[in-house]
Each structure stands twice: as structure tokens, then as C-alpha cells.
Amino acid sequence: MAERGAAGVIAELKAGGFSDLVEVVIEELDPRRCTELVKEIARLEKKIFPKHESLARFLEKEVRRKNSGLIYAKAVKGRQGGDQIVGYVMYSLTTTLCASITKLAGLSLRAVKENYRRLGHGEALLKAAIQKCRTRNVQRVCLHVDPERIPALSLYRKLSFQIDELVESYYCADRNAYRMSLKFEC
């Protein structure tokens, strides 16, 4: 059960028969003050994805790039502290000659911690990243997803992403990906 609040999403987490209300807020990473947050996101990335898919080792370099940004969801536990990162999405604006004609952005590093899934956090993160791209005059946002990750695929379709093509051996020799895109009206 999730209820939307002004600052984020109120999540009701149930563990061991107990219920805990947690406020989850969406924020953009400040690259000047990000060392600990990047380490926490890298740890989460390593837990969620297989080693060959994880981009954790490149994360700090990527968030410091001029045309990149990282938006994250943080569970705020109130006065007792213990805030934790529960999800994230990274966007990169493409800077090629081709992209200067049609401005492109790519979404990568999209994940939500398992016990925070299906509560609206992934959707809120993606919407925030898409909005950020729109404010930068991007005309098309692209991403790649494993065709077997049905919940992720459903979320992207819900947000109007369309499958462009199947990219064979994208993740490794026997794992493909769909390239999906969301085009904006000019």
C-alpha cells in the first residue's frame, strides 16, 4: 500500500508481522557532495545486478560527467535516523554530432531495492529523470532492458516507452536486450 505525499511516497513496509510507515523522497545527486551516496548506490547496484551487468565500478566517474545526472529515492526514517537509498536512475545526455540534430538521452542504472518494489518508487524515479531530460530539450530518451524482466518492461510500457529493436547478446553471449525509446512532441 502506498500513499502519495507532497514530498514523496509514504510506503508501508511489512516485515516480521510488523508494519512500518516510511517516507520516501526523490532527490537529485549533487556531484560536488556525493562520495558516501555514490558508495551506497554502488553497494545497492552490486546486490541487485549480476557482476557482469553491474556498473558500480564506473558509477563515481559517470556521476561527475558534465551531461549526466543521478536521481535517487531515499527512505527517511525520521528522528531515529537510518535513512537509506532504495532506488536510483541515471540519465546521460548524448553529445555526438548525430545527437545534436535530434537531442538524445539514455537512462541507465535503474533499480529499486526489493522490499520497496511495487510501491511506485520506480515510476516516480523514471518520471523525475524523464522530466529532467525534457527540461534539457531532449527529444528522445532511450534505455535497454532484458526481455525477461517483465515488471521493468511493464513499467516502461506504462510510461509510453516503445520497443525499437531486439539487441542480441547485449548483456552477454546468451542474453539479449530490448532497446526502448520515448519520443517527445516538438
User: What pLDDT digit, counting tens, does each position of 120-146 carry?
Assistant: 899 999 999 999 989 888 889 999 999
Q: Tell me, what's the pLDDT at 96?
A: 57
Rounded to an integer, the average pLDDT of 163-169 is 94
Query: Which domains, from first to last, does the chain contain?
Result: 2-183 (3.40.630.30)
Residue predicted with more confidence, 178 or 16 = 178
Predicted confidence (pLDDT) per residue in 58-117, tens digit = 777 777 778 888 899 988 876 556 788 888 898 888 765 554 555 788 887 688 888 888
- CB 10, CB 3: distance < 8 Å: yes
What are residue 180's DSSP bridge partners? 143, 163
Compute the mean pLDDT over every residue in the chain, rounded to the nearest whole number.
78
E strands, the chain, are: 2-4, 8-15, 18-28, 68-76, 84-93, 104-112, 140-145, 162-172, 175-183
Rounded to an integer, the average pLDDT of 154-167 is 95
Q: Where are the alpha helices (DSSP H) in 79-145?
A: 97-101, 121-135
Banded pLDDT at 17 (limits 50, 70, 90) = very low
